[in-house]
């Protein structure tokens, strides 16, 4: 009977202890609100008074496990930190975790693995970019030699020629290509170094000759039609012109349709400039060598005119340069053009004859002459303006963004190296010439690059203030900042393309330089700004937020979280009171 009484006493003591503890150990289905209440009430539970008989107190855990072990295992799965009031840890259970807990842990393990792979990818991007930058530095050094300078910087003559057909109509595409090629050969034959000839639009040709000082002389040489014709004097129907020629007048203009040429300049094989043998004033003449077919034609004509001392007019662009009399049959295809030419005039005529006749008529619509001193002064002033602007922008960024200003400084440096490398590459292939309007485009795109950095950094800090972690803000903030920058660059790019496609002359160079700057800015955003900021956000920014200028943003985010938490707890307390009521 005594043993039965002890058992009943132990069971009765356990039942009373269970009634005191069970509300804090077993949560109800009402969820978190009631769970918080139990957590607050748990410390108030006092352990059952120890029995006077020590062995009975030691036997209590066995009774507790045998009767309430399953319930305590479920409580441990929900919250391992909450234990019964007696402080004993629950035994491990083989019960499988809920699917929600497994998914949460799986996401945590993936989040721990992702930064390492992403960091390797970002670091690889920066390494490849460093190699490209090294090649660019090697490519544009020294700048004065690797980047072609325009006439407004190094001085020279710039001429815009307008082409038209003999009837005044717009020339065809093939005629413009032929005319551009002929003008290019004429400019090259003048001995000008780094001269450029470019077709612009449908009927314009831009000619730039560095070092030249006389625009009229350049136009006369390169814009001359150069149509060489050989005409028998007895086949000219212009009576006034015949009277002048018989009187010994030179440079007589023949009207179109009043004569018929028996041979033109297409039969010319080569030309040379020599001093006239019969001249006492030091004049020059141009000796023309005809090809075999032209020599045969010229031989037959001179054979007919030799008995009567007939004359052959050598006509260039409708003007009779000379009209010598034929004394005897001329074979071998050797012809001399005389006309009291000076050395420069004879050389210009040789250039025209060598390049062939133009299929169109060229007239210059614009010409500029720039001295080398003025051009270099303008270049120096432009470089100084760029340097001052960069210094002001960088100082502002360091003041406002503190350590993140280093990222902007690096972005501008990468942008400048890529920009100069691209300009040097295009200059090497003759596709780019730096002019003063192009220098203005460089200043404009440099400001756009700084603006892109500001957008990315400001969006990064805004994401932190919204409550995101530094690492997450570096991903989402950079993504949204680059999207905004791309929208702005797209507008600038459309304007630059329009200028490049429609404008002529230096304005066209402005559009091209602007397009190249936008391309370099986009490359800098994706290859430097994004990976560099994300790498810094892994550890560096989080360790020293004050240096990187995000400490205030983190404090603001913390205050916002505390405010939301206080609001949520207040709302939960009101609802809990209603439930208790």
List, for residues 529-538, the tens digit of each pLDDT value. 999 999 998 8
Q: Report pLDDT digits (tens) over 494-517.
A: 999 998 888 766 788 899 999 999
Choice between 365 and 469, residue whose per-residue pLDDT is larger: 469
**397 with 500, same domain?**
yes
The mean pLDDT value for 398-425 works out to: 91
Residue 264 and residue 327 in one domain: yes
Asked if residue 412 is part of any domain, the answer here is yes
Q: Is 22 part of any domain?
A: no
User: Does residue 484 share a domain with residue 398?
Assistant: yes
With a cut of 50, say whether residue 108 has pLDDT above it.
yes
374 compared with 289, residue with greater pLDDT: 289
Residue bearing the bigger pLDDT, 576 or 78: 576
Q: Which residues contact 432 (CB under 8 A, 6 or more apart)?
A: 147, 148, 423, 426, 512
CATH of the domain at 301: 3.30.1360.200
Q: How far is CA 62 from the centre of its chain?
A: 77
Does position 449 have pLDDT exceeding 80, yes or no? Answer: yes
Cα separations in angstroms, 562 against 207, 557, 567: 71, 9, 8
Among the listed residues 468, 489, 478, 467, the one whose alpha carbon sits nearest the alpha carbon of residue 404: 478
The answer to whether residues 412 and 521 belong to one domain is yes
- Domain, as residue range, for 311: 228-357
Question: Do 353 and 457 share a domain, yes or no?
Answer: no
Q: Is residue 481 part of a domain?
A: yes
Compute the distance between CA of residue 285 and CA of residue 300 in angstroms, rounded to an integer.
24
Do residues 298 and 379 share a domain? no
State whether 212 and 335 are in the same domain: no
Q: Work out how many domains the chain is built from and give that number.
A: 4
Q: Is residue 16 part of a domain?
A: no
Task: Check whether residue 392 and residue 475 sit in a common domain.
Answer: yes
Buried b / exposed e over 12-23, threshold 16 CB at 10 Å, is ebbeebbeebee
| Cα–Cα distance measured from residue 477 to residue 550, given in angstroms and rounded to the nearest whole number | 14
What the block records as the tokens of 5 is: 């009484």
pTM above 0.85, yes or no: no
Task: Give the tens place of pLDDT for each residue, 127-162.
Answer: 999 999 999 999 888 887 888 887 778 777 878 888
Same domain, 398 and 504: yes
Point out the domain boundary residue: 52, 69, 87. Answer: 87
- Report pLDDT for 573: 58
Tell me: do 382 and 456 sit in the same domain: yes
Position 395 in a domain: yes
Where is pLDDT greater, at 346 or 79? 346
Average pLDDT over residues 255-266: 84
> Residue 446, exposed/middle/buried by CB under 10 A (0-12, 13-18, 19+)?
buried
pLDDT band at 291 (very low <50, low <70, confident <90, very high): confident
Residue 18 maps to a domain:
no
pLDDT band at residue 75 under the 50/70/90 scheme: very low
Q: Which of 463, 461, 464, 460 is nearest to 478 (CA)?
A: 460
Amino acid 416: pLDDT: 92
Strongest mean pLDDT among 184-193, 401-410, 514-523: 514-523
Tell whether 524 and 414 lie within a shared domain. Answer: yes
Residue that wins the pLDDT comparison between 244 and 227: 244
Residues 432 and 387 in one domain: yes
Q: What is the sign, positive or negative, of the torsion defined by CA atoms of 197, 199, 200, 203?
A: positive
Higher pLDDT, 375 or 111: 375
Handedness of CA 80, 86, 88, 91 (dihedral sign): negative
Query: What CATH number corresponds to the domain at position 182?
Result: 3.30.70.3400
């Amino acid at each position: 009977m005594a043993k039965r009484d002890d058992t009943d006493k132990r069971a009765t003591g356990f039942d009373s202890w269970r009634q005191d503890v069970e509300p804090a150990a077993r949560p109800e289905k009402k969820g978190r609100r009631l769970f918080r209440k139990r957590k607050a009430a748990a410390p108030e539970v006092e352990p059952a008074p120890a029995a006077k008989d020590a062995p009975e107190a030691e036997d209590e855990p066995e009774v507790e496990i045998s009767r309430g072990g399953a319930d305590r295992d479920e409580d441990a799965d929900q919250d391992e930190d909450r234990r019964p009031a007696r402080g004993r840890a629950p035994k491990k259970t083989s019960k499988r975790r809920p699917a929600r807990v497994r998914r949460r842990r799986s996401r945590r393990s993936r989040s721990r693995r992702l930064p390492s792979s992403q960091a390797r990818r970002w670091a690889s991007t920066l390494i490849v970019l460093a190699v490209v930058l090294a090649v660019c530095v090697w490519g544009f050094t020294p700048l004065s030699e690797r980047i072609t300078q325009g006439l407004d910087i190094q001085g020279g003559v710039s001429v815009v020629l307008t082409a038209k057909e003999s009837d005044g109509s717009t020339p065809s595409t093939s005629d413009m290509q032929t005319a551009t090629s002929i003008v290019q050969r004429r400019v090259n034959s003048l001995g000008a170094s780094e001269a450029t000839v470019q077709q612009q639009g449908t009927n314009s040709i831009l000619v730039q000759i560095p070092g030249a000082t006389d625009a009229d002389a350049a136009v006369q040489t390169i814009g001359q039609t150069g149509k060489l014709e050989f005409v028998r004097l007895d086949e000219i129907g212009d009576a006034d012109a015949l009277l002048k020629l018989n009187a010994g007048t030179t440079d007589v203009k023949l009207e179109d349709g009043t004569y018929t040429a028996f041979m033109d300049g297409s039969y010319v094989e080569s030309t040379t400039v020599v001093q006239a043998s019969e001249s006492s004033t030091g004049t020059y003449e141009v000796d023309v060598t005809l090809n075999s077919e032209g020599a045969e034609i010229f031989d037959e004509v001179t054979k007919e005119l030799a008995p009567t001392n007939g004359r052959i007019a050598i006509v260039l662009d409708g003007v009779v340069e000379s009209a010598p009399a034929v004394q005897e049959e001329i074979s071998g295809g050797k012809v001399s053009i005389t006309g009291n030419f000076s050395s420069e005039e004879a050389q210009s005529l040789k250039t025209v004859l060598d390049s062939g006749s133009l299929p169109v008529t060229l007239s210059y619509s614009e010409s500029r002459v720039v001295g080398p001193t003025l051009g270099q002064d303008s270049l120096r002033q432009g470089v100084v303006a760029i340097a001052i602007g960069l210094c002001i922008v960088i100082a502002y960024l360091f003041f406002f963004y503190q350590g993140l200003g280093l990222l902007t400084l690096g972005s501008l440096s990468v942008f400048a190296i890529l920009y100069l490398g691209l300009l040097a590459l295009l200059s090497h292939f003759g596709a780019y010439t730096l002019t003063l309007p192009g220098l203005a485009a460089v200043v404009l795109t440099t400001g756009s690059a700084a603006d892109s950095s500001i957008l990315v950094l400001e969006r990064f800090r805004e994401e932190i203030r919204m409550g995101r972690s530094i690492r997450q803000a570096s991903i989402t903030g950079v993504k949204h900042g680059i999207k905004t920058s791309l929208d702005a660059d797209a507008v600038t790019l459309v304007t630059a393309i329009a200028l490049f496609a429609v404008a002529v002359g230096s304005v066209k160079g402005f559009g091209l330089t602007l397009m190249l700057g936008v391309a370099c800015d986009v490359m800098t955003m994706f290859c430097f700004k994004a990976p560099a900021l994300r790498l810094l956000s892994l550890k560096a920014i989080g360790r020293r937020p004050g240096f990187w200028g995000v400490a205030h943003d983190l404090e603001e985010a913390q205050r916002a979280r505390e405010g939301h938490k206080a609001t949520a707890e207040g709302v939960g307390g009101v609802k809990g009171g209603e439930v208790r009521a």
